[in-house]
């Protein structure tokens, strides 16, 4: 495989990052600040922004303002605003806003223990929910084109995830969507707990491509153990052209003792990597770094982004010239 000419970056910081920041302090990030960051991100050239989560406010109180956040943003032409939901209730809430891009998406998880903890469902219950969701999408006239596999690279509760399990889930999602009369176009492999390593990323991407030919592969990477951007580079080397990432590395925190606090890969580091490799992202790196500075101001502690603190190389180049 060769490097892709262009990639899609899905900005997940306002959803996943702020969800993490709000653990134990649901009101810590104000609705106004959430809106401010989404609006700033919409000026960077990013195609898709994951704005919030429509999940149970009892389970995830920091996302209880999902409707208010969506109502407060200033939609910009050309930007897709999306949200996360784990069941039919969440999908209906998201759709009711009238302002979000709702794409049909089914999700399965490669670890039952994680599914129980995250979705509060066994794998069988999770499968049944996907069938329910598929019917609901159909009723709403929304084609199902996306799927994702959570915990695809390993699990803190179950350990290593065998590749065969991931391939079986990829085929299952492909067939489930075909059975609903649609076609799986993009499959996201999520390294939910930060277990991926570069060799594993390359082997997994290649094997999943063989298992579901013609499907675009995307990656959702975390930088839990410092290999996040190396994993992204490994994926680019396999031709992967779709990545989730979080501005500033939101959701992560470099403080000692803050275990598990490693966010998604950092959007501006991903964009910088791509620029230097000659891969287009459509994103203005300096504007994105300004958003990372805003995100850091909002959370009130240093974010993991290195480039935010060291300066952007293209700007340094111009300064030198």
Could you say whether residue 118 binds a second copy (CB under 8 A)?
A: no
Which segment (55-63, 77-85, 171-179, 233-241) binds a second copy by CB under 8 A?
Answer: 233-241
Report the residue number, 182 or 269, with the smaller CB distance to a second copy.
269
Specify whether the CB–CB gap between 305 and 268 falls below 8 A.
yes
Of 283, 243, 316, the C-alpha closest to 40 is 283
Pick from 229, 246, 283, 288 the residue near a second copy by CB under 8 A. 229
Q: Which one-letter DSSP state was computed for residue 284?
A: -
Pick from 19, 109, 224, 245 the residue near a second copy by CB under 8 A. 224
Could you say whether residue 305 binds a second copy (CB under 8 A)?
A: yes
Q: Which two tokens stand for residue 317?
A: 């180049």
Which segment (10-18, 22-30, 118-126, 296-304) binds a second copy by CB under 8 A?
Answer: 296-304
In the Cβ-directed half-sphere of 86, how many Cα atoms lie within 13 Å? Answer: 19
As measured in angstroms, the least distance from the Cβ of 229 to a second copy is 5
Q: By three-state DSSP, how is residue 254 classified?
A: coil
Specify whether the CB–CB gap between 274 and 236 falls below 8 A.
yes
Which segment (56-64, 72-80, 169-177, 300-308) binds a second copy by CB under 8 A?
Answer: 300-308
Pick out residues in 121-160 that bind a second copy (CB under 8 A).
Answer: 154-160
CB atoms under 10 Å from CB of 276, counted, come to: 10
Could you say whether residue 273 binds a second copy (CB under 8 A)?
A: yes
CB-based contacts of 253: which residues, under 8 Å, 6+ apart?
261, 263, 301, 302, 303, 304
In the Cβ-directed half-sphere of 242, how many Cα atoms lie within 13 Å? Answer: 15
Whats the size of the chain, residue-wise?
321
Of 109, 91, 89, 111, the C-alpha closest to 100 is 91
Active site residue 291: no
Could you say whether residue 205 binds a second copy (CB under 8 A)?
A: no
As measured in angstroms, the least distance from the Cβ of 195 to a second copy is 6
Report the residue number, 74 or 310, with the smaller CB distance to a second copy.
310
Distance between CA 135 and CA 53 in Å, rounded?
21
Report the residue number, 142 or 290, with the smaller CB distance to a second copy.
290
Cα distances from 171 to residues 104, 138, 144, 149, 163, in angstroms, run: 17, 21, 15, 11, 13
As measured in angstroms, the least distance from the Cβ of 295 to a second copy is 11
Could you say whether residue 314 binds a second copy (CB under 8 A)?
A: no
Report the residue number, 91 or 189, with the smaller CB distance to a second copy.
189
Pick from 117, 286, 311, 315 the residue near a second copy by CB under 8 A. 311
Report the residue number, 213 or 320, with the smaller CB distance to a second copy.
320
Specify whether the CB–CB gap between 247 and 291 falls below 8 A.
yes
Among the options 155, 253, 266, 291, which is catalytic? 253
Residues that bind a second copy (CB under 8 A): 154-160, 194-195, 197-200, 223-227, 229-230, 232-234, 237, 254-262, 266, 269, 272-273, 276-278, 296, 302, 304-313, 316-317, 320-321
């Amino acid at each position: 495989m060769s490097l892709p000419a262009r990639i899609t970056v899905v900005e997940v910081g306002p959803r996943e990052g702020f969800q993490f920041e709000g653990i134990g302090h649901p009101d810590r990030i104000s609705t106004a600040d959430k809106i401010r960051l989404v609006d700033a991100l919409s000026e960077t050239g990013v195609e898709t922004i994951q704005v919030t989560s429509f999940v149970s406010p009892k389970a995830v109180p920091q996302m209880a303002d999902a409707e208010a956040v969506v109502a407060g943003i200033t939609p910009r032409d050309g930007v897709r605003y999306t949200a996360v939901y784990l069941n039919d209730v969440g999908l209906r809430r998201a759709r009711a806003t009238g302002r979000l891009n709702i794409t049909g998406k089914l999700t399965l998880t490669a670890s039952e223990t994680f599914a129980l903890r995250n979705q509060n469902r066994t794998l069988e219950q999770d499968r049944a929910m996907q069938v329910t969701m598929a019917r609901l999408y159909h009723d709403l006239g929304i084609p199902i084109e996306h799927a994702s596999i959570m915990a695809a690279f390993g699990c803190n509760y179950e350990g290593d995830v065998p590749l065969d399990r991931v391939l079986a889930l990829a085929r299952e999602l492909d067939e489930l969507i075909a059975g609903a009369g649609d076609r799986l176009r993009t499959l996201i492999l999520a390294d939910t707990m930060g277990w991926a390593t570069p060799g594993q990323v390359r082997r997994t991407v290649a094997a999943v491509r063989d298992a579901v030919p013609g499907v675009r592969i995307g990656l959702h990477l975390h930088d839990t153990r410092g290999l996040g951007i190396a994993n992204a580079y490994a994926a680019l080397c396999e031709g992967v052209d779709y990545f989730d990432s979080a501005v500033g590395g939101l959701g992560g925190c470099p403080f000692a003792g803050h275990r598990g606090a490693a966010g998604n890969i950092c959007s501006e580091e991903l964009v910088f990597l791509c620029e230097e490799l000659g891969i287009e992202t459509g994103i203005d790196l300096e504007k994105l770094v300004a958003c990372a500075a805003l995100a850091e101001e909002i959370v009130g502690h240093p974010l993991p982004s290195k480039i935010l603190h060291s300066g952007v190389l293209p700007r340094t180049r111009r300064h030198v010239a």
